Chains A and B, each alone.
Chain A
């Protein structure tokens, strides 16, 4: 029986090679199509709100760069030829550039706002809702200004409006962003400080019951080291908060020299050795 099936298959193969070729081509297309589906399913699409906010900001930044290039080209053209057509083109491109500038700052604010959601502000001195509200209010202000930009009618108006927007960004947008970012960094420190203290207390309570008498000295040394770390972290975190409070974050920030100097690198570095410190005593139980 199998021989007859093989013979039939062979006969079919030789009688209709074109059909066989067609079948193979269709199969290959299906395989390639499934491959592309698998690849697309593995492609990096934003999954978290923070990633989506980052993608939005990146997208608007690239659009802004395109709009800027067009604005500069139209400006150069108009400066060279100074015709009604070149003026109109310069007006349109300048307006588009100004509108896109709003989008960049709006998505930037939304990005740093989303970033703040990663951390528990409850362990620090700031209230997230207050900071969040300031960001949302500023986003609305920028959206209102964007509407105003979209309704500009002449090239001269774009020049005036650009100065107005610059003033707003320097006096409101950038200070609000700087404040939010700094407070988020501090919130991270306070949250980490709380978690370290909380974990240390739990492990200390557990270890006190379980530690063998011969390891008691070791446990005491560990306790001492944990206490030192707690004090150091508390001291430096509070110092950083004091420094933050001394900053006049409502002051104007020049766009040309905009730089957020608030730095918590040293304070963050304190926490890295605490991971192994907390685990250490558990190895002796």
Chain B
């Protein structure tokens, strides 16, 4: 090959390279618009990929669930260990006198304890014969 033919070839190659940046042309030299694929906004694959990339929210969700469960368990255990109310025979009754009084004596304490027991008995007066009617039974067996 002589230099003239190589120059022509190079020019052809250069021309082709220049042409590749331009939009393709139809036979009638009209420019073709590039066709685009329709990409839906809510693409499941895209969401999956994005979620897999999100690390922190998932970890936070798991941790929060764990903490909520532990706290619930602790609260239930605390409420479950609550004892039922018991009747106290030593009430903490304050003496309401106009003048300041010294420490309550043993005699007064005993009086108040006895009073508490007496009050409990009187309040238990709702338990009477009326609460224990006889069983209703039919023994008129006939065939």
Instruction: Say what secondary structure dominates the interface of chain B.
Output: helix
Find out whether the CB atom of A24 lies under 8 angstroms from the CB atom of B77. Answer: no
Size class of the B contact interface (CB-based, 8 Å): 35 or more
- Render B108-143 as a binary contact track against A, CB cut-off 8 A, 1 for contact: 100100110111011011011110111111111111
Counted as pairs of residues, one from A and one from B, with CB atoms less than 8 Å apart, the total is 149
Find out whether the CB atom of A283 lies under 8 angstroms from the CB atom of B97. Answer: yes
Asked if A111 CB lies within 8 Å of chain B CBs, one says yes
Find out whether the CB atom of B137 lies under 8 angstroms from the CB atom of A64. Answer: yes
Given A31-B73, A108-B134, A282-B95: A185 and B128 interface contact (C-beta under 8 Å): yes
Asked if B107 CB lies within 8 Å of chain A CBs, one says yes
Given A41-B80, A79-B143, A159-B141: A31 and B69 interface contact (C-beta under 8 Å): yes
Restricting to A96-118, which residues have a CB under 8 Å from any CB of B? 98, 101, 104-105, 108, 111-112, 115, 118
Instruction: Say what secondary structure dominates the interface of chain A.
Output: helix
Find out whether the CB atom of B135 lies under 8 angstroms from the CB atom of A108. Answer: yes
Find out whether the CB atom of B114 lies under 8 angstroms from the CB atom of A199. Answer: yes
Q: Which residues of B contact A278 (CB under 8 A)?
A: 115, 118
Give the complex CA separation of A260 and B143 in angstroms.
32
Q: Which residues of B contact A35 (CB under 8 A)?
A: 76
Q: Which of A131-139, A218-226, A234-242, A263-271 contacts B (4 or more CB under 8 A)?
A: A263-271
Asked if B15 CB lies within 8 Å of chain A CBs, one says no
From B65, B108, B139, A166 is in contact (CB under 8 Å) with B139
Given A20-B62, A206-B111, A260-B134: A192 and B141 interface contact (C-beta under 8 Å): no
Asked if A258 CB lies within 8 Å of chain B CBs, one says yes
- Render B73-87 as a binary contact track against A, CB cut-off 8 A, 1 for contact: 100110110000000
Find out whether the CB atom of A28 lies under 8 angstroms from the CB atom of B129. Answer: no
Asked if A284 CB lies within 8 Å of chain B CBs, one says yes
Find out whether the CB atom of A162 lies under 8 angstroms from the CB atom of B139. Answer: yes
From B72, B111, B133, B137, A202 is in contact (CB under 8 Å) with B111
Q: Which residues of B contact A165 (CB under 8 A)?
A: 139
30 contacts between A and B (CB under 8 A): A10-B59, A13-B59, A24-B66, A31-B72, A34-B73, A38-B80, A68-B138, A75-B143, A104-B137, A105-B135, A105-B137, A108-B135, A155-B143, A166-B139, A188-B128, A192-B121, A196-B118, A199-B118, A206-B107, A255-B134, A260-B134, A264-B129, A271-B125, A275-B119, A275-B122, A278-B118, A283-B95, A283-B96, A284-B97, A285-B95
Contact residues of B with A, CB < 8 Å? 52, 55, 58-59, 62, 65-66, 69, 72-73, 76-77, 79-80, 95-97, 107-108, 111, 114-115, 117-119, 121-122, 124-125, 127-130, 132-143
